[in-house]
């Protein structure tokens, strides 16, 4: 191999190393973002379940109140 070929090879290797480091940093960043989104998703799912439970409780309370009102109306 001549000096020009070695120089080109050296440049390409340096470029590959640089690009590999950039990609590794990007993968790390995306992994962290993915973990954050997973946590946020789990939190939102728990909030939805809690909201559904509260909605069921409210619905039961309203149904009970409606029954009481209907019973009172029928009695009078």
Ordered per-residue pLDDT tens for the chain, 76 residues: 688 999 999 999 999 999 999 999 999 999 999 999 999 999 999 999 999 999 999 999 999 999 999 998 888 7
What pLDDT is attached to residue 53?
A: 97
How many CB atoms within 10 Å of residue 35?
Answer: 10
Distance, in Å, from the CA atom of 46 to the CA atom of 49, rounded to the nearest integer, reads 5
Distance, in Å, from the CA atom of 46 to the CA atom of 58, rounded to the nearest integer, reads 18
The residue written with tokens 């950039």 in the block is 22
The residue written with tokens 């191999």 in the block is 1
What pLDDT is attached to residue 41?
A: 98
């Amino acid at each position: 191999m001549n000096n020009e070929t070695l120089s080109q090879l050296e440049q390409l290797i340096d470029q590959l190393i640089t690009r590999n480091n950039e990609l590794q940093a990007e993968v790390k960043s995306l992994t962290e973002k993915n973990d954050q989104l997973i946590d946020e998703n789990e939190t939102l799912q728990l909030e939805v379940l809690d909201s559904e439970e509260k909605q069921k409780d409210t619905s039961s309370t309203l149904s009970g109140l409606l029954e009481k009102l209907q019973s009172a109306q029928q009695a009078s």
